[in-house]
Amino acid sequence: MDSFSTLIRTASHEQHVEAETSTFMSDLLGGRLGVDAYARYTEQLWFVYGALESDARELAQDPVAGPFIQPELFRLAALERDLTHLRGPDWRSTLTALPATQAYAARVAECARTWPAGYIAHHYTRYLGDLSGGQIIRGKAEKTWGFERKGDGVRFYVFEEISNPAAFKRGYRELLDALPVDDLEKQRIVTECKRAFSLNTDLFRALGEEFPLSA
Ligand code: HEM
């Protein structure tokens, strides 16, 4: 039987392609959107990572989710620096969550509080993605909007404390493979991962509607 890390990657592959090729992502990576769209996306991430990271201290004590709580992954401080750069020091006063973001953050928070194994699905979907495709997004953002390499504006994509992302991802997959849960629970985590991908796709759709390309 395949390892759990292989199972979760394979099960979410189709939705990964969908997210990657969504209109918003394609337009963003294609350099067709203004920095305002990028800033709006970064704002939405702030709500999502708030939900991922605000209960981290309690989750760190959990036997199932605990090993995944690794401070070198935390993104909230980096997002806040990026938002200060993108929106100015008063960024909090103009920040709003799209309904799709509210739904996403609410589901993450619900898992964090009531179902630590489900929380892992959200953790995996975001952080492993940020360590992978996130690096492609960073390069495009630097080029398109002129951010300093690995500087303010793209700090979200820079994991200062992870010097070897490939090795880190290997370690992460080992944690997935060592999850102390039964097969049924693993299946539920896979289902939650698919939901996490759908929540991302919903968010991209909403952003795409807010930033349509002028025909
Ligand atoms: C245009 C945007 C994206 C690009 C170019 C991209 C690209 C990639 C690449 C190249 C990998 C493989 C890395 C490796 O095998 O080590 C990867 C993995 C991954 N991506 Fe993305 N990605 C994008 C968007 C997303 C989104 C939106 C999500 C979810 C929110 C996501 C979640 C993941 C996950 C969870 C993995 C790890 C798969 C695994 O090895 O288990 N990606 N991505």
Q: What is the pLDDT of residue 118?
A: 98
Q: Atom of ligand 1 at shortest distance to CA of 196?
A: 30
Q: Which of 105, 102, 124, 103 is nearest to 113 (CA)?
A: 105
How far, in Å, is the centroid of ligand 1 from the Cα of 93? 32
Q: What is the pLDDT of residue 213?
A: 82
Dihedral of the alpha carbons of 179, 200, 158, 71, in degrees to the nearest 10: -40
Q: Is 56 in the pocket of ligand 1 (CB under 6 A)?
A: no
Low-confidence ranges of the chain (pLDDT < 50): 215
Q: Position 194: which residue type?
A: K
Cβ atoms of 11 and 190 within 8 Å: the answer is yes
The answer for residues whose C-beta is within 8 angstroms of residue 23's C-beta and 6 or more apart is: 204, 205, 208
Choosing from 3, 16, 26, 28 the residue with most ligand 1 atoms within 8 A of its CB, the one to mutate for a pocket test is 16
Could you give the CA distance from residue 51 to residue 61 in angstroms, rounded to a whole number?
17
Q: Is 128 in the pocket of ligand 1 (CB under 6 A)?
A: yes
Tokens of 156: 């979200």
> Which atom, in ligand 1's list, is nearest to the CA of 201?
27
| Cα–ligand 1 centroid distance for 119 (angstroms) | 18
Quote the pLDDT of residue 211: 95
Q: Is 16 in the pocket of ligand 1 (CB under 6 A)?
A: yes
Closest CA to 112 of 203, 182, 192: 192
Q: Which residues lie closer than 8 Å to 61 by C-beta, 6 or more apart? A: none
Residue with the smallest CA separation from ligand 1 atom 24 is 20
Q: What end-to-end distance do the CA atoms of the chain give, in Å?
A: 49
Cα of 148 vs centre of ligand 1, distance in Å, is 24
Please tell me if the CB atom of residue 29 comes closer than 6 angstroms to any atom of ligand 1.
Answer: yes
Question: Within 13 A of 1's CA, how many CA atoms are on the CB side?
Answer: 7
